[in-house]
């Protein structure tokens, strides 16, 4: 039997990196010319979906090649001898790369034949880490086409997020983690202090940081204007229910949410950091300097008050998603890179 490509994910949460892997590998595995095996280093709600990508079952003794999905899984390459080519698909940004453990850095710098990353900013960070530029390829995250949600589902999502028919609704999406700037989101709420504006954050809220930002919000007296929905099975109706989507991230290599929001006609405003800055340069996000929440609040007011102005980033983001980050476009690059990797062992 032909030796398989072993794909390793460090966990199975609904992160952007795992969603991208699921979409890309599901669409391209038949074109790789080898079986696919999947290993998860930890569990999560996407475990069954990721395991379903495998075309062979059971443990793999000696794979044809290894693909680690994310820099956090990179150290798995050190378990195999150098005759087995290794690749890492890096979804993280510069700050995340600088705090990697020694084994993961060694794998990225010395062990990889191929390092795929999601943006120019991530490529620069990898070069700064010591990865030879000749080994780096930019493979932007695939944006899955989204269906236009039913109006009833949108209305339900809007009600869940505490917004009435005449309210403005500003929505953030992602895990409540430090790099996503939930504290800056709380500060933004205080800057947009009119009674008509409601806020919601869609995504998992770990207990520790969740308590901190909830406490900060309580101290401002704005608790009733903000809803923390927790993780939802389908974020699309929630994005469509928003008037403006906001990114308060301190860092983000190449976010999916602004483009997913654009595909359902909603604009995003955020700080010009990492991949968000790249999207801003193309008009896909209305960006302001980090961490200026006053300027971000003013940008959101503009988008809320001017539908024509709000349509610009939504239109540009949808165009980029279709033309540069579709499954077909990114899938061809993904297959080409992995095929070259696998040819080493053929």
Q: What is the pLDDT of residues 148-182, one digit of tens each?
A: 899 999 999 999 999 999 999 999 999 999 999 99
* pLDDT for residue 346 is more than 60: no
Please give the structure tokens belonging to residue 7: 């794909």
Instruction: Note whether 336 and 329 are within 8 A (CB).
Output: no
Say what percent of the chain tops pLDDT 90: 85
- Which one is the CATH code of 5-142+326-343: 3.40.190.10, 1.20.140.10, 3.30.2310.20, 3.40.50.2000? 3.40.50.2000
For residues 345 and 279, the model is more confident at 279
Fold matches, 5-142+326-343 and 151-324: yes
Is beta strand 268-271 parallel, antiparallel or unpaired with respect to 244-247? parallel
Mean pLDDT along residues 244-260:
96
Kindly tell me if the per-residue pLDDT of 1 is higher than 70. Answer: no
Place 87 in a pLDDT band, splitting at 50, 70 and 90. very high
Looking at residue 214, its pLDDT comes to 84
- Which whole number is the average pLDDT over 124-140? 95
Q: Which residues contact 323 (CB under 8 A, 6 or more apart)?
A: 329
Inter-residue contact 122 to 95 (CB < 8 Å): no
Taking residues 186-198, report their average pLDDT: 94
Q: b or e along 222-246 (b: 16 or more beta carbons within 10 Å of the residue's beta carbon)?
A: beebbbbbeebeebbbbbbbbbbbb
Share the mean pLDDT of the chain.
Answer: 94
In the chain, where the domains are located: 5-142+326-343, 151-324
pLDDT at 27: 96
- Lowest-confidence pick of 123-132, 210-219, 232-241: 210-219
Query: Above 80 in pLDDT, residue 345?
Result: no
pTM for this one? Answer: 0.91
Q: Say how far apart CA 246 and CA 230 lie, in whole Å.
A: 17
pLDDT score of 2: 87
**Do the strands 268-271 and 136-138 form a parallel or antiparallel pair, or are they unpaired?**
unpaired
Top-level class of domain 151-324: alpha beta
Give yes or no for a contact between 222 and 190, defined as CB atoms under 8 angstroms apart. Answer: yes
**Average of per-residue pLDDT across 330-343:** 96
Q: What share of the chain is helix, strand, coil (3-state, %, to 5)?
A: 50, 15, 35
Q: Which pLDDT belongs to residue 146?
A: 83
| Residues contacting residue 143 through CB under 8 Å, at least 6 positions apart | 256, 259, 260, 263, 321, 325, 326
């Amino acid at each position: 039997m032909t030796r398989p490509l072993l794909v390793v994910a460090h966990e199975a949460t609904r992160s952007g990196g795992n969603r991208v892997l699921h979409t890309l590998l599901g669409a391209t595995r038949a074109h790789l010319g080898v079986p696919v095996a999947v290993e998860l280093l930890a569990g999560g709600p996407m475990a069954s979906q990721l395991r379903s990508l495998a075309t062979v079952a059971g443990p793999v003794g000696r794979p044809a090649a290894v693909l680690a999905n994310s820099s956090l899984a990179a150290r798995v390459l050190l378990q195999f001898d150098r005759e087995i080519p290794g690749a890492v698909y890096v979804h993280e940004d510069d700050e995340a790369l600088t705090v990697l453990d020694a084994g993961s850095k060694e794998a990225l710098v010395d062990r990889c034949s191929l390092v795929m990353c999601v943006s120019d900013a991530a490529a620069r960070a990898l070069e700064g880490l010591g990865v030879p530029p000749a080994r780096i390829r930019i493979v932007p995250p695939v944006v899955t086409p989204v269906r236009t949600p039913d109006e009833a589902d949108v209305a339900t999502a809007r009600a869940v997020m505490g917004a009435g028919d005449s309210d403005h609704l500003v929505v953030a999406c992602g895990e409540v983690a430090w790099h996503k700037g939930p504290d800056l989101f709380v500060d933004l709420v205080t800057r947009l202090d009119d009674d008509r504006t409601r806020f919601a954050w869609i995504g998992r809220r770990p207990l520790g940081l969740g308590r901190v930002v909830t406490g900060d919000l309580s101290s401002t007296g704005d608790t009733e204007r903000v809803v923390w929905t927790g993780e939802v099975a389908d974020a699309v109706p929630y994005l469509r229910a928003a008037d403006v989507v906001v990114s308060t991230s301190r860092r983000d290599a190449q976010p999916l949410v602004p483009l997913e929001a654009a595909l359902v006609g909603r604009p995003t405003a955020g700080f010009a950091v990492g991949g968000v800055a790249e999207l801003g340069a193309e008009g896909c996000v209305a960006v302001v300097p980090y961490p200026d929440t006053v300027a971000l609040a003013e940008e959101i007011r503009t988008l809320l008050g001017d539908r024509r102005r709000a349509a610009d980033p939504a239109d540009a983001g949808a165009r980029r998603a279709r033309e540069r980050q579709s499954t077909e476009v990114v899938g061809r690059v993904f297959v080409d890179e992995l095929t070259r990797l696998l040819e080493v062992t053929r």
